[in-house]
Structure 1
């Protein structure tokens, strides 16, 4: 099917039960244009699980959590990568594809975790705790990754921590992720005070109220949530782990304690599952739209660049993670 408009309409059938028919005309032209621009520009779109359904299911070529996007970015053959996500994700894609053009549709798509720590902070932690390895969450800038020994994601944090063979590690910057990993391992974890502005808003009382309002609901919590929320949930895991849980366990009724679009994207493949949506919106993820993805492809807007010396050191941290 070579007609972009017809291809766009065919894609709508996939998302019909999460995007109302009256909304589709707003998206249709941009979807069709992006499909054609990808072909013309030899481009692929990588989209995080928190992107809206019209991006996630209609124009993205590769989707997933931070770990999946990092792994799959290494396999990209196209010359242009558009990262539908936040800035640290685009930097990670550039680190793993230094010879390719990496674009982010909105340079203001940031992250509260990435903004909570600086390279100087990491150096001070090393001075305070000499010889203690530093694990840096992938939700950080390339400059911070360059100061770390290894990166991790929410999907592999415990595995990375234990791979170092150290009795204690520094884990930067998500305090709640560090505390949740510490509860699962004998390794002593020294945490930073950064928080995700989406996940820190959830409370254990939210889950108790959900259980009263929706009997039998299965609650899945992201490990960036406070430990008391994780303890109250039925399961805690990365966005990929949540998706796998729904796919394999098929709970009749489920609530995902994470960003809003996650439920919509998982629901597309599981129309038989009732999704209760006690979500919080990420304002940074929502800066990415079909319109600015289209503009990025039309005008090479905005190219991600990283200082070569920073990139070399940061790439090592990411590659060590991917080797675990």
Structure 2
């Protein structure tokens, strides 16, 4: 049994689906179901007895402690986070609450649980914390990519809150001996991504004829990682990573934002053609405050030590992504209408959960 937090969000739900497809091991999935936690992401797992879903907050330490005692997981895989930079600029309090305080509560519950385990189970237990490349700050055009030894220099409330959570995880390993693992990933894309992020926003806007807004000059560079590759990397780190260590996970795909949008428009011109090119919908808007110019991940350590490398190129991954959004109009409609929020409010446990954990 493993314990997953944030498993109804974008990356978390992909991890849950991939885990169930590749492993017989059951998992407990704890998610608060905020605006970005979508129960529709987990429809394929709803009838799977190996998937135990519980609506709850990682900041509720008593709940987390009770669940750890009840299910006795061999690992915690921590995805739960507020993650949208624009929202962190408008309202940083939620980011401090979830990313810092929530991670602290989770660590405290895990520390107490781990301390009470017999030695043979302590040997195998892991706490895997999923973080971001944004903690490293911004790179100049010719600077080398972020490595695990790069100094932290977060520039937004979001990245600062994730940096703080990374430091807490590190401290709990060195102070208490909790066998932690940290992963710092580059920009993810793929199925089930909430359409406020660049790639799904552009796809969903393009399909309904809305402008495609590009911040500034569109020359900001990101390293793009297909979410399925990220999931395989997390599984590999959980399997073979060395406690106390950090592993950077990247796609080796540096692209400007404008280049990404041009690629999306060209694919849509091919897959869903209309009378004019989707490029005609591109518009440039005022840049956001503190917009980091370039991120890039050096993922050579995870390849060298754990044998992981992304399976998707940007070309193959982005085509799969566009195809997925074209084929899942109902999922998009549920977000546009807010129907997914109604389902989240009405959602009781998906399967095999005690009555005390039901809504």
TM normalised by structure 1 equals 0.30
TM normalised by structure 2 equals 0.28
